[in-house]
Amino acid sequence: MKKNYIITMLVGLTSVLPAAGTDEGYRPMIREDRTWEYLETHTELNPLTAAETNRNTLFRMKFDGNEEKNGKEYSRFVYCGDRSSWTSTVDYRTGATTSSDRVTVPNEDATVYYLREEPGKVFILFPYEDYVDYSGNGYKVKKGEEVLLYDFTLSEGESFTGFWSYGNFQGGLIDYPVRALDPVKIAGEECRVFGVTDKFMGACRDYRFAEEAGCLNYGTLATPDAVVRTSGFSSTDCHLQKIYDGDGNVIYDARMAPYTDIVDNGKSWTYNHLDIVASSTYQSLTPGPTYTFGEAETVDQTEYLPLMCDDKRTGMLMRQEGLRVYMRFEKDKAPYIPGYPAGEDYKDRDLLVYDLGASVGDTYHALTVGEGGAFEWVELRVTEAGTLATASGERDFIKVVRNDVEDRRSDTVVDGLGSLSGVFFTADLGPEVTGSGYDKEILYDVTGKEGKVLCKGKPFTTGPDMVAEGRVWEYYSREGGLELYPEQELYRWQFSGTVEKEGKTWNRLMRVGSVKWKGSDPASAVTDDTGTEVALLRQEDNRVWILEDTGERVLYDFNLQPRDETNFSPAYLDVVYEYRLDDIDYKYSAIGASGFYNFTPCGEASGLAPVTYSSNWGNVGRGDMLHIEFEAEKEGAPVRCLRNVYDLEGKILYKGADIEVPPFAGIDGMEAGDEADRSDAPILDMLGRRVTTMTRGGIYIQNGKKFVGR
Give the pLDDT confidence score for residue 9 in this predicted structure: 26
- Give the Cα separation of 58 and 395 in Å (integer): 25
Which band of pLDDT confidence, cut at 50, 70 and 90, is reported for residue 153?
Answer: very high
Question: 484 and 444, same structural domain?
Answer: no
Close Cβ partners of 225 (under 8 Å, ≥ 6 residues apart):
164, 165, 166, 204, 218, 219, 238
| Average confidence (pLDDT) over 392-396 | 80
Q: Is residue 262 part of a domain?
A: no
More confident residue, 614 or 228: 614
Q: At which of 199, 230, 253 does a domain end?
A: 253
Q: Where does a domain end: 456, 482, 513?
A: 456
227 and 144: one domain?
A: yes
pLDDT at 710: 58
Considering only CA atoms, give the Rg of the chain. Answer: 31
Instruction: Work out the average pLDDT over 634-663.
Output: 87
**Three-state DSSP class for residue 178:** strand
| Type of residue at 265 | N
DSSP 573-612: SS--EEEEEEEEEEEEETTEEEEEEEEEE-GGGTTSPPEE
Binning pLDDT at 50, 70 and 90, where does residue 682 land?
A: low
Residues 382, 444 share a domain = yes
Could you tell me if 581 and 696 lie in one domain? no
Q: pLDDT exceeding 70 applies to what percent of the chain?
A: 83
How far apart, in whole angstroms, are the C-alpha atoms of residue 416 and residue 424? 11
Mean pLDDT for 142-155 is 94
Beta bridge partners of residue 179, listed in sequence order? 195
Say yes or no to pLDDT of 699 above 60.
no
**CA-CA distances (angstroms) from residue 76 to 110, 124, 127?**
11, 10, 12
Distances (CA, A) of 33 to 36, 61, 73, 212, 247: 10, 12, 18, 12, 8
61 located within any domain = yes
Q: Is residue 657 part of a domain?
A: yes
Q: What pLDDT does residue 38 have?
A: 96
| Sign of the C-alpha dihedral computed for residues 301, 306, 312 and 314 taken in this order | negative
**Whether 700 and 565 share a structural domain:** no
Q: pLDDT of 519-573, one tens digit each?
A: 777 888 888 888 899 999 999 989 999 998 888 889 999 999 999 999 887 765 6
Domain membership flag for residue 10: no
Work out the pLDDT band at 197, boundaries 50, 70, 90: confident
Range in 178-192, 265-279, 330-344, 404-418 with the lowest mean pLDDT: 404-418
Closest of 642, 596, 595, 701 to residue 471, by C-alpha:
642
What's the structural domain count of the chain? 4
Backbone angles phi, psi at 465, to 5 degrees: -65, 150
DSSP at 459: P
505 with 530, same domain: the answer is: yes
Shared domain for 200 and 53, answered yes or no, is yes
Average pLDDT over the chain, rounded to an integer: 83
Q: What integer pLDDT is reported at residue 376 of this predicted model?
A: 86
Residue 452 has pLDDT above 70, yes or no: yes
> DSSP string covering 50-64, please?
TEEEEEEEEEEEEEE
Mean pLDDT of 113-123: 96
Q: Given pLDDT bands bounded at 50, 70 and 90, which one contains residue 475?
A: very high
User: Per residue, what are the HEC states of 241-258?
Assistant: EEEEECCCCEEEECCECC
Report whether pLDDT(678) > 60.
no
Q: Is residue 117 a part of any domain in this protein?
A: yes
pLDDT at 21: 40
Residue 669's pLDDT is what?
46
- Band (623; pLDDT cuts 50, 70, 90): very high
Closest CA to 467 of 556, 595, 405: 556
**DSSP 8-state symbol, 27:** P
Q: Is the pLDDT of residue 192 over 60?
A: yes
Tell me what percent of the chain is helix, strand and coil, each rounded to the nearest 5: 5, 50, 45
The pLDDT confidence band at residue 93, using thresholds 50, 70 and 90, is low
Better pLDDT: 700 or 22: 700
Residue 7 lies in a domain: no
Other CB atoms within 10 A of residue 96 CB: 16
Q: Which residue has the higher pLDDT, 485 or 287?
A: 287
Residue-range definition of the domain harbouring residue 523: 471-665
Q: Is the pLDDT of residue 592 over 90?
A: no
Record the pTM.
0.68
Q: Which amino acid is at 646?
A: Y
Q: CB of 34 within 8 A of CB of 238?
A: no
* Shared-domain flag, residues 481 and 402: no
Residue at 407 is within a domain: yes
477 and 443 fall within a common domain = no
Q: What is the 3-state secondary structure (H, E, C) of 610-666?
A: CEEEECCCEECCEECCCCECCCCCCCCCCEEEEEEEEECCCCEEEECCCCCCCHHHC
pLDDT tens, position by position, 494-520: 999 999 998 899 999 999 989 998 877
In a shared domain, residues 172 and 230: yes
The answer to whether residue 205 sits within a structural domain is: yes
Q: What's the pLDDT score for residue 395?
A: 85
SS (H, E, C) 485-532: CCEEEEEEEEEEEEEEECCEEEEEEEEEEEEEEECCCHHHCEEECCCE
483 lies in the same domain as 417: no
pLDDT tier, 251 (very low <50, low <70, confident <90, very high otherwise): very high
Q: Is the pLDDT of residue 706 over 80?
A: no
For 384, 460, 586, 588, 679, the CA distances from 684, given in Å and listed in that order, are 31, 19, 16, 11, 13
The answer to whether 34 and 243 are in contact (CB under 8 A) is yes
pLDDT in tens, 458-474: 888 777 899 999 999 99
DSSP letter for each residue of 677-691: --TTSPPB-TTS-B-
pLDDT at 203: 75
Q: Which of 253, 280, 297 is the last residue of a domain?
A: 253
688, 639: one domain: no
The stretch 197-201 carries a mean pLDDT of 82
| Neighbour tally for 181: CB within 10 Å | 22
Give the model's confidence band at 625: pLDDT under 50 very low, under 70 low, under 90 confident, else very high: very high
